[in-house]
Amino acid sequence: MEHLAYDIQSGDFGGAGAASRDLKQHLKRIGAESGAVRRAMIAAYEAEMNVVIHTEGGRLEATVSDGQLDVDVVDRGPGIPDVPQAMREGFSTASSEARALGFGAGMGLPNIERNSDRLRVTSAVGDGTRVSFSIGLRPEAADQGARPSSLGIAAELCRDCRHCLAACPTAAVRVREAQPSVLHHLCVDCTCCIAACDPGALTLLDAPDGLAPGADGVLAVPPALLAGFGDHAVDTVLEELRGLGFAEVVSVHPYEDQLRRSVLDLAAAAALPTPIISPVCPAVVSLIELKFPSLVPHLAPLASPWEALQRDFGERDVTYVVSCPSQRTALLAQQPTAQRRTVTPRLVRAAVLPRLAARRRVAQGTPAPQPQAAGADDLLVVTGVSHVLAVLEQIEDGRLTGVASVEPFICDGGCFGSPLLGEDAYVAAWRWAAAAGAAPGEARSYERARPYRPRPGIRLDPDMAVAIRKLAELDAETKALPGKDCGVCGAPTCAALAEDIVMGRAVRALCPYITPQEGSAS
Amino acid sequence: MKLEDIARELGLTELTPEVTGNRQAEIERGYASDLLSDVLAHAPEGSVLVTLQVHLNVIAVASHAELAAVIFAGDRRPDDDMRAKAIAEGISLLVSPADTFDIVGRLYAMGVKGNHA
Which has the higher per-residue pLDDT, A59 or A144?
A: A59
Both A371 and A473 in a single domain? no
Residues of A in contact with B42 (CB under 8 A): none
Both A426 and A485 in a single domain? no
Distance from CA of A53 to the nearest CA of B (A): 12
Does the CB of B38 have a partner CB in chain A at under 8 Å?
A: yes
ipTM over 0.85: no
Check B64 against A45: CB less than 8 A apart.
yes
The CATH classification number of B3-109 equals 3.40.1390.20
Domain limits for position A379:
204-360+367-434
Both A132 and A9 in a single domain? yes
List pLDDT tens digits, range A443-500.
888 888 778 888 776 677 777 788 888 888 999 999 999 999 999 999 999 999 999 8
Which has the higher per-residue pLDDT, A374 or A412?
A: A412
What's the per-residue H, E or C state across A446-506?
A: CECCCCCCCCCCCCCCCCHHHHHHHHHHHHHHHHHCCCCCCCCCCCCCHHHHHHHHHCCCC
Check B64 against A20: CB less than 8 A apart.
yes
Both A287 and A332 in a single domain? yes
- Range A496-515 burial, b when 16+ CB lie within 10 A, else e: bbbbbbbeeebebebbeebe
Chosen domain end from A417, A434, A451 = A434
Q: What percentage of chain B carries pLDDT values higher than 70? A: 100
pLDDT at A254 over 70: yes
Question: By three-state DSSP, how is residue A465 classified?
Answer: helix
Give the total number of structural domains in chain A.
3
Task: Report the distance separating Cα A280 and Cα A260, nearest Å.
Answer: 8
Does A507 fall in a domain? yes
Check A16 against B60: CB less than 8 A apart.
yes
Interface A-B: count of C-beta contacts within 8 A: 81
Task: Report the distance separating Cα B47 and Cα B49, nearest Å.
Answer: 7
Distance from CA of B117 to the nearest CA of A (A): 22
Helix (H) or strand (E) holding A267: helix A253-268
Chosen domain end from A136, A170, A193 = A136
Of A49, A107, A402, the CB nearest to B24: A402
Distance from CA of A39 to the nearest CA of B (A): 9
Chosen domain end from A79, A113, A136 = A136
Both A236 and A332 in a single domain? yes
Both A395 and A477 in a single domain? no
DSSP conformation class of A294: G
Both A419 and A477 in a single domain? no
DSSP conformation class of A354: H
Does A159 fall in a domain? no
DSSP conformation class of A123: E
Both A430 and A470 in a single domain? no
Does A12 fall in a domain? yes
Check A107 against B41: CB less than 8 A apart.
yes
DSSP conformation class of A453: -
Distance from CA of A293 to the nearest CA of B (A): 19
From the CB of residue B45, how many other CB atoms can be counted at a distance below 10 Å?
Answer: 11
Question: By three-state DSSP, how is residue A495 classified?
Answer: helix
List pLDDT tens digits, range A186-238.
899 999 999 999 999 999 988 877 888 877 889 999 998 998 888 888 888 99
Check A101 against B55: CB less than 8 A apart.
yes
Q: Are strands A318-321 and A173-176 parallel, antiparallel or unpaired?
A: unpaired
What is the value of pTM for the model shown?
Answer: 0.59
Both A415 and A287 in a single domain? yes
From the CB of residue A355, how many other CB atoms can be counted at a distance below 10 Å?
Answer: 15
Question: By three-state DSSP, how is residue A21 classified?
Answer: helix
Q: Are strands A118-124 and A151-153 parallel, antiparallel or unpaired?
A: unpaired
**Furthest-apart CA atoms within chain A: distance in Å:** 100
Interface of A with B in 367-426 (CB under 8 A): 394, 397-402
Q: Are strands B92-95 and B69-72 parallel, antiparallel or unpaired?
A: parallel
Q: Are A188 and A326 in contact (CB under 8 A)?
A: yes
Q: Which of B39, B55, B56, B64 would best serve as a mutation to test chain A binding (most A beta carbons within 10 A)?
A: B64
DSSP conformation class of B89: H
List pLDDT tens digits, range A499-516.
988 887 888 888 989 865
Both A350 and A225 in a single domain? yes
Q: Are A326 and A150 in contact (CB under 8 A)?
A: yes
